[in-house]
Amino acid sequence: MNNAAKTTSRSTHDIVADGLSTLSDHAIASLPNLKNLKRTVQRIRQRHQNPLALPKDRTSLVIDPEFMKTNRNRTFLQFDSGSVDQRMLIFSTKKQLRMLENATHIYLDGTFSVVPELYFQLYTIHVEYLHHILPTVYVLLPGKKQCLYREMLRQIKNLLPNFDPPNVMIDFERARFLPAADVIPTFDEIKDQFPVEGEPVLKYFEENYIGVKSRLSRPRKSPKFDISLWNVNENTIQRKHRTNNAVEGWNNRFSSLMNCNHPNFWKFLKGLKKEQSFVEAQVIQAEAGVRQTRNREQIRREIRILNIINEPTTTNFQKVMALAQILSLKRS
């Protein structure tokens, strides 16, 4: 059991159950309580995997030099805001930063379940590179306040003074497929039919993506993210990568690699370094002429979305409802 805890990724229950299967009744009777035995296996694994003391908070965090470099000994930690409560960490490599600086399409996405206990979200920036969608920057953020996003972009600008992507895509569902001019009228139509208990959801989308309506007959206030940033009608019609649907595969892959929610800080960084090695291999293969292929289900879904958008006999509201069905089926 001791060796399995140190050298395998099997669950503690699997390790204990396997170990018990080889013991005699007399030996099993002399063992500690089985729950305590599982805890012992867990502690052995943690000590082996995390020889460094776990940080108590972001301000006291001291990053070991091992995690400042990739597995190929390239600089990985590009920015650390220092011993402050709102501490931000930016990981990337020189190669990935060049890819980001030269990209014509970038994809922004946040994920939460794989984030280490000290942080709120892992924010990633992906680019289209030789027909692949690849991550270039990984940012650990302590929250989701607008000031944190601004600071993140400011620090990336410091790393890349010429960073000015022409196409930025963020995640927003359903109405993003409509022509930009139709988004607000369709949103108003949806709002009129929305249940009262859904008001907080509507408020969130108005503040961030649509713009809050003034009580007077004035234009809506500017949203946090302009419609032109997240609307993908043209990209869908032209059959380009739409949105962060292109990076969902990466989120799932990284989640599978971590194999748990909210890992401790050192386990997260070890996993991020492993993933970075895989991404570097993807870059090498892309430059060697290897191209990604889409699966049949993805192709069928893209065709259905295109058919809905181009159907001249349906209203925008009907289009949104039909798109909602496709997107919900995708998640089921």
Three-state secondary structure call for residue 111:
strand
pLDDT, residue 236, reads: 59
Three-state secondary structure call for residue 109:
strand
> How do the domains of the chain map onto residue ranges?
2-49, 65-171+243-287, 177-234+293-331
Q: Which is more confident, 243 or 98?
A: 98
In which element (H, E) is residue 136 found? strand 132-141
State mean pLDDT over 79-93. Answer: 96
Closest CA to 96 of 286, 294, 251: 286
**Distance from C-alpha of 256 to C-alpha of 199, rounded to nearest angstrom:** 35
**Distance from C-alpha of 259 to C-alpha of 271, rounded to nearest angstrom:** 10
**Tokens at residue 243, please?**
């949105």
Confidence tier at 175 by pLDDT (50, 70, 90): very low
Contacts of 87 (CB under 8 A, 6+ apart): 58, 59, 61, 80, 81, 142
Confidence tier at 114 by pLDDT (50, 70, 90): very high
Total-model pTM: 0.66
Burial class (CB in 10 A: 0-12, 13-18, 19+), 38: middle
pLDDT, residue 309, reads: 78
Q: Which spans in 160-295 are helix H?
A: 180-192, 199-205, 227-230, 233-237, 248-258, 265-287
pLDDT, residue 194, reads: 76
pLDDT, residue 327, reads: 64
State mean pLDDT over 181-198. Answer: 78
**Distance from C-alpha of 327 to C-alpha of 312, rounded to nearest angstrom:** 21
Q: Which is more confident, 332 or 82?
A: 82
**Distance from C-alpha of 18 to C-alpha of 312, rounded to nearest angstrom:** 62
Is pLDDT of 119 > 80?
A: yes
